[in-house]
Amino acid sequence: MCRPPSFAQAAGQNPDFDIVLPMLEEVCFLREDGQAPLLPHISDGKVDLREIAGLLQGSTERPLALQMHLGTWNLVSLKSDSRKLTLSHLRSITGREGTPSDPFLVRFLNGPHRRQGATPAQVPEASAQRVAALAQPPLKQLPSLNRLEEFLFGQPAPANKLPLDADLLNQIRLSDPSVAAGFVADDGAARQLARLLSHSVEWQPSLGCEGLTADAVNQILINVLQGLDRLVGAERSLRITVQRGWGREAGQLQEGKKLPDGQLLGSYGQALLALWEERGSEHTIQEAAADLAAKAPAHVPGGVPYLVCFAAAGAKLQFYAVRGGGNASAPKPLGRAFDLGQKTDRAWVVLAAANLYRLLTCFGVSQTSQNRPADQLAQAMSAL
């Protein structure tokens, strides 16, 4: 296969390479089966998928599908200008950078007559049903503080184990069989859910300022909570949103009280579901937890015995149960401090996030009720 020269080769061949360089960009494509990685140079800011198809399979007759977000595939016509995509658009629709470590994935199909936009996989997509099953059986009351840690890190029922990329699951199983027991190898039946969870387990955080800690929290924990809420569908969704700092739409937050760094909100900002505190890697998890203890209790809604919260500093993250009231005791640690730099610890956090979502969605939810799940949650918690 003819392959264009790398930047290093081009530099050696062209004395004016410093002039050429700004006009070129090198992006990586990879066949779904892992064969034939391709690093073409893009000089006009657009990628011609017809050209990619010709280079990767030697023909432009077979249909080409491009992997999108959450593991879905989208067919692109190779006979019209829709095959030409700008790099920014390509990256926005795939969620990938197009680098050798994060290539654009393409699939070639035998059947040429699928409609554009179809998903070529044969197995029905059941992510919404799998997420809905996490809420079964419905919880009739909050777990007691003494049993909350067991609930948060407990294993799902065999039918509700969380799908994960098979190779990733094998790696985790070798390092920590106890957390691997909460997952099952993705069989293609819940592709979007498996892609969501695998992304958070695979995400390798960077250490440094508080912003990098926030990025790790978003990618590993918040990503799961919001992703589950999207996948479950509009009728079951809690309408989860995230805020950092004061927001007037956060109806249950106590105005005038100093806020924790992050707030997880339901019902379009009207229900407070969780709080957290973040610090950069120059701080300890104990310092972040102390800030959480100083700020969070004042915001626990009246009548609710506790909120499941967490503190993060650098790569460390720990969950806590925070109780409200003026004389509230210190937050109760739930489990150990996890190292987000370790894949198995990220798997524990993902498992805890799924169980936390179950905690938030199961209050008062019944198949026959006409009320919104988030409204039922608020009513059930306020009645405790």
Report pLDDT digits (tens) over 262-283.
888 887 667 889 999 999 999 9
Cα distances (Å, whole numbers) of residue 158 to 97, 133, 290, 358: 36, 11, 38, 16
Helical pair 191-202 and 343-361, crossing angle rounded to 10 deg: 130
Please tell me the predicted confidence (pLDDT) of residue 309: 95
Please tell me the predicted confidence (pLDDT) of residue 239: 84
Whether residue 315 is contained in a domain is answered as yes
- pLDDT tens for residues 7-59? 344 444 544 434 333 344 678 888 887 776 777 766 567 888 877 877 776 66
**Within this chain, do residues 154 and 98 fall inside the same structural domain, yes or no?**
no
- pLDDT tens for residues 188-208? 888 889 989 998 999 888 888
Neighbour tally for 116: CB within 10 Å = 12
Strand order in the sheet with 241-244: 241-244, 262-266, 271-279, 307-313, 316-322, 332-339
3-state secondary structure 94-162: HCCCCECCECEEEEECCCCCCCCCCCCCCCCCCHHHHHHHCCCCCCCCCCCHHHHHHHHCCCCCHHHCE
Q: Please give the sequence-ordered ranges of beta strands (E in DSSP) within 210-322, or none if there are none.
A: 241-244, 262-266, 271-279, 307-313, 316-322
Burial zone of 316 (CB within 10 Å; 0-12 exposed, 13-18 middle, 19+ buried): buried
pLDDT at 293 over 60: yes
Whether residue 117 is contained in a domain is answered as no
How far apart are the C-alpha atoms of 311 and 309, rounded to whole Å?
7
**Within this chain, do residues 139 and 36 fall inside the same structural domain, yes or no?**
no
Secondary structure (3-state) at 313: strand
**Within this chain, do residues 54 and 99 fall inside the same structural domain, yes or no?**
yes
How far apart are the C-alpha atoms of 373 and 362, rounded to whole Å?
8
pLDDT at 111 over 50: no
Please tell me the predicted confidence (pLDDT) of residue 192: 87
The lowest-confidence range among 29-33, 54-58, 81-85, 244-248 is 244-248
Q: What percent of the chain has pLDDT over 90?
A: 31
**Within this chain, do residues 297 and 358 fall inside the same structural domain, yes or no?**
yes
Whether residue 92 is contained in a domain is answered as yes
Q: Please give the sequence-ordered ranges of beta strands (E in DSSP) within the chain, or none if there are none.
A: 25-26, 29-31, 41-42, 46-48, 64-67, 73-76, 84-86, 104-108, 162-164, 183-185, 241-244, 262-266, 271-279, 307-313, 316-322, 332-339
**Within this chain, do residues 85 and 160 fall inside the same structural domain, yes or no?**
no
How far apart are the C-alpha atoms of 134 and 156, rounded to whole Å?
8
- Return the DSSP state at 4: P
User: Token match 């990618």: residue?
Assistant: 219
Secondary structure (3-state) at 22: helix
What pTM was estimated for this model as a whole? 0.65
**Within this chain, do residues 102 and 190 fall inside the same structural domain, yes or no?**
no
pLDDT at 354 over 90: yes
**Within this chain, do residues 146 and 217 fall inside the same structural domain, yes or no?**
yes
**Within this chain, do residues 299 and 360 fall inside the same structural domain, yes or no?**
yes
**Within this chain, do residues 193 and 342 fall inside the same structural domain, yes or no?**
yes
159 vs 95, more confident: 159
**Within this chain, do residues 196 and 67 fall inside the same structural domain, yes or no?**
no
253 vs 338, more confident: 338
pLDDT at 103 over 90: no
Please tell me the predicted confidence (pLDDT) of residue 327: 62
163 vs 84, more confident: 163
Q: Output b/e per residue, 139-177; b: 16+ Cβ within 10 A.
A: beebbeeeebbebbbeebeeebbbbbbeebbebbbeebe
Please tell me the predicted confidence (pLDDT) of residue 201: 94
> In the predicted model, what is the mean pLDDT of residues 350-359?
95
> In the predicted model, what is the mean pLDDT of residues 83-99?
79
**What range defines the domain where residue 368 resides?**
127-382
369 vs 327, more confident: 327
pLDDT at 347 over 70: yes
Q: What is the pLDDT confidence band of residue 257, given thresholds at 50, 70 and 90?
A: low
How many C-alpha atoms does 267 have within 13 Å on its Cβ side? 18
How far apart are the C-alpha atoms of 299 and 293, rounded to whole Å?
11
Q: What percent of the chain has pLDDT over 70?
A: 73
> In the predicted model, what is the mean pLDDT of residues 57-67?
70
Please tell me the predicted confidence (pLDDT) of residue 310: 96
Whether residue 116 is contained in a domain is answered as no
Average pLDDT taken over every residue of the chain: 77
**Within this chain, do residues 235 and 342 fall inside the same structural domain, yes or no?**
yes
Q: Could you give the number of structural domains in the chain?
A: 2
